[in-house]
Amino acid sequence: MLARIVAMRDRIRPSERKMADYVLARPGEVISLSMAEAADRVGVSEPTVARFCTALGCSGFREFKIKLAQDIAGGMPFLHQDAHHGNEASSVAAKVFERTIAALVQARNTLSPEAVERAADLLAKARRIEFYGSGNSGTVAQDIQRKFFRLGIPTVAYSDAHVYFVSALSLGPGDAVVVVSSSGRTRDILDSARNALSVGADVVALTRSGSPLAQLVSVSLQVDVADDFDIHSPMTSRISHLVLGDILSIAVALRKGDALQERLERHKHTLDTHPLAE
């Protein structure tokens, strides 16, 4: 609930934004208030409080308080204010850790197990897997590809939009693409996903729920975290996507069975006995 408030804060009315800021600053206090008391302390009307709750997908203030209390009772760490000029390094470290942990908890709580199963099934049977992403998402795509290439599946990662736009057209039925996009609205990524689908390849997306990309692909693993893209803020969606990559690679490895396990053990033995350059 707290992460959802941050994500939608800039899209609601100014009066409702006052309510959002009050909740984010004092979540423990809000759950003990009536709607009238909350409206009075924030300085807004009761209909504004009701609209705020509706915007969050709640039927009313009572349901909103229940969900907010569940966040707090579950120990979900939350940080409203990011690092600022003048913060000590120790303070910055604490804020970055807290923000990242909160994002991972949010991702875990909203991730669809059924979507993970479908994605793992598609990737486990793929003849070839290509990984696409731009900017920070391109770095994530490359990291995930490095996990998959050891599984005995031909893989490649592209972060150049022109290259993956064309490469997607060279695929076919039985191939798969994993696209990484925090916004799910990047035009080059959307066009490349369409290209892959048009030739019969399956497309798995790591992206935001409700985005054009999530609605386009074969399977979408959705992560909704509060990235504000401030230069001092950690890119929490990037961390969440890296963890999703770990989940997929392990799930696919388990589907490959004993043959893959023997292969990985040979790799490990070779690396352990390979002399390091001095």
Q: Are 165 and 192 in contact (CB under 8 A)?
A: yes
If pLDDT is split at 50, 70 and 90, which confidence band does 231 have?
very low
The token duo for 202 is 């399956």
Average pLDDT, rounded, for the chain: 84
Ranges of CATH 3.40.50.10490 domains, the chain: 112-269
Q: Average pLDDT in the 74-100 region?
A: 61
The token duo for 52 is 């705020």
CA distance linking residue 251 with residue 253, whole number of Å: 5
Task: Please give the span between the terminal C-alpha atoms of the chain, in angstroms, as a whole number.
Answer: 54
Strand partners, 130: 156, 177
pLDDT digit string, tens, across residues 88-118? 666 777 777 777 777 787 788 778 899 999 9
CA 204, distance to chain mean position in Å, is 13
Q: Is 187 exposed, middle or buried (0-12, 13-18, 19+ CB in 10 A)?
A: exposed
Ranges of CATH 1.10.10.10 domains, the chain: 2-80
Higher pLDDT, 14 or 259: 14
CATH, domain 2-80, list 1.10.10.10, 3.30.565.10, 1.10.4190.10, 2.40.110.10: 1.10.10.10
- Output the pLDDT for position 85: 53
Percent of the chain with pLDDT over 90: 53
Q: Which CATH architecture has domain 112-269?
A: 3-Layer(aba) Sandwich (3.40)
CA distance linking residue 3 with residue 225, whole number of Å: 6
CA distance linking residue 216 with residue 201, whole number of Å: 13
CA distance linking residue 154 with residue 204, whole number of Å: 16
If pLDDT is split at 50, 70 and 90, which confidence band does 264 have?
low
